[in-house]
Chain A
Amino acid sequence: MDNSNELQEIWKSVSLKELPESREMIDLIHNHRNKKLKNFLLLILSSVFFVATMIWVIYTSASFNIIARIGAVLMLISCLILLATNFNSFQRFYNLTACSNKEFLLFLQQTKKRRLFFYKNTQLVLLIFCVTGLFMFLTHLIARNLTLAIAVYAGYSVYFLVMWFYVRPKVYKKGIQKLSRSIEKVERIALQFENNNS
């Protein structure tokens, strides 16, 4: 118990000078928000560009069979899922205006939960549509050039397996570690402010 009291005393005696000021915290939140908004906007624009290209190709060419066209529709669905998810996140970050440390902490914790949900559910659905769509689209190659079709299928399968089993978990882990560090930092600041104010 003595140790605990001593620790509390030490904790409370730490100078507030080392902590960021409220203005700095607001700037930190503001910068974080703006950076994320820019990323979401770029992602939304890129998705729209890709899907517009696909629609343009399908509508201007009469040479694709029905399976390839169904594949294109599946790709379109995957794009809509990606757009909806990112538009939702864009709105979430857009509504993040001046808030307290605790509110920002809650926001970051919710972001972490959303990422886990995206990784385990949304991303799976999105990629199932996307990969099935691409596989179906490539069927038109079989009739044209079998060797080319086999080469493309093999290359794409290897690429997809590497992305799925290596890149995807790595990207998620890296993002979550970064977010956890931010949460820890804001948590520490909020707690110290609270202790020094009490």
Chain B
Amino acid sequence: MKKSNFRTGIVLLIMGFILTSVRFVLLEYSQLPGFESGLFFGAGLGLEILGLMTTP
């Protein structure tokens, strides 16, 4: 097996795991009060960190 194929496989596996986790969290916790605000705030902070820590 090529090294690049192996890497791609690992990346896809991790992405699948993340997406499954996100789906699980959304289904389980979306009824909690403040969940949506927290999600939005988290995404906003993530975006802000990307803008702060990266350089073109």
Contact = CB atoms under 8 A, between A and B. Distances in A.
Given A53-B39, A53-B40, A138-B41, A130 B53 contact: no
B37 interface: yes
Given A50-B43, A137-B44, A57 B52 contact: no
Contacts of A53: 39-40, 43
Given A53-B43, A79-B47, A133-B44, A114 B36 contact: no
A19 interface: no
Interface in B32-56: 34, 36-37, 39-41, 43-56
B47 A118 contact: no
Interface in A1-60: 39, 43, 46-47, 50-51, 53-54, 57-58, 60
B51 A140 contact: no
A54 B40 contact: yes
Contacts, number: 86
B56 A115 contact: yes
A172 to B, nearest CB: 7
A118 B48 contact: no
Q: How large is the interface on A (under 10, 10 to 19, 20 to 34, 35 or more residues)?
A: 35 or more
A186 interface: no
A123 interface: yes
Contacts of A60: 36
Contacts of A43: 50, 54
Q: Which 6 A-B pairs have the closest CB atoms?
A: A89-B56, A53-B43, A50-B43, A57-B40, A50-B47, A134-B44
